[in-house]
Amino acid sequence: MTQAEPRPQDGWVDLAQGRIFVRSWEPALPPTLSPVVLFHDSLGCVALWRDFPERLCRATGRRVIAYDRLGFGLSDARTDRLSLEFIAQEAVAVLPDLQRSLAFERFVALGHSVGGGMAVHAAAQWSRHCDALITAAAQTFPEGRTLSAIAAAREFFSDPAQFQRLERYHGAKAGWVLDAWTESWLSPAFATWSLAPVLPRVRCPALVLHGSEDEYGSACHPLLIGDLSGGQARVEILPGVGHVPHRDHPEQTVALITEFLAALP
């Protein structure tokens, strides 16, 4: 399905802890299908999805909703340390407010990297409302490869010139954003975190995308999602693709997602 140019709409949603920025892309024709809700990665924000939401909206004819998590992008700052349950909390504490404010009930959950874990929790927590789950480069536990890459990234962003890249998207919140990622994942207390207990509660169909060259996680993660998911799961290991398939290979990624969503009952 090919649509005319999607119309982006910006807004704000008030949470108990502060205000978050939301952007939605509306298809040219009034949508009749459930919207796709995007959960961004550990250093991400709406702007860093780049043109992926627009491409996805145009290809699928679905409304696409992206938001900056509290503390990220244009959303309000926060100074607290992330709870060890921060991945699960996104589905419990934020998604219902998005649904009320943007007037949708059913949804497709799509998450990249740690956002993939948040999407899994959203699909499990709200199984009666989630039509499909899509993960891209999601991690299911703190694998050694993941932790080594995060430690290397922490060193990389210690260079002021590289840190400015974060400030471009997060402004004065950039230091908190970086620490929220590195100090959470590298904390010994986080070592026991896993999606394994949650995945059997996912009842909807799932598309699990993962690059063969993903520096932040091996193929064990998509395979685990596919094996443990309570619904039918399709696992796609993308040859030669790294950690950000929707940015580096957008046509292939959008085509796979569009095909998957078109086949939903």
- The predicted-structure confidence for 201-240, as pLDDT tens digits, reads as follows 999 999 999 999 999 999 999 999 999 999 999 999 999 9
Q: What is the mean pLDDT of residues 166-187?
A: 98
Domain ranges of the chain: 7-140+195-262
The pairs formed by 232-235 with CB atoms below 8 angstroms and a separation of 24 or more are: 232/205, 232/206, 233/205, 233/206, 233/207, 233/208, 234/205, 234/206, 234/207, 234/208, 234/260, 235/208, 235/210
What amino acid is encoded at 113 in this protein?
Answer: S
Q: What is the mean pLDDT of residues 3-22?
A: 90
Identify the residue with better confidence: 118 or 31: 118
CA distance 178 to 73: 12
pTM of the prediction? Answer: 0.96
- Name the architecture of domain 7-140+195-262: 3-Layer(aba) Sandwich (3.40)
Which of 251, 241, 247, 88 lies closest to 222, judged by CA? 241
Q: For tokens 């954003």, name the residue.
A: 177
Write the CB contacts of 234 (distance below 8 Å, at least 6 apart in sequence).
205, 206, 207, 208, 226, 260
CA distance 60 to 39: 18
pLDDT at position 24, please?
98
Written as six digits, the tokens of 233 are: 């799961």
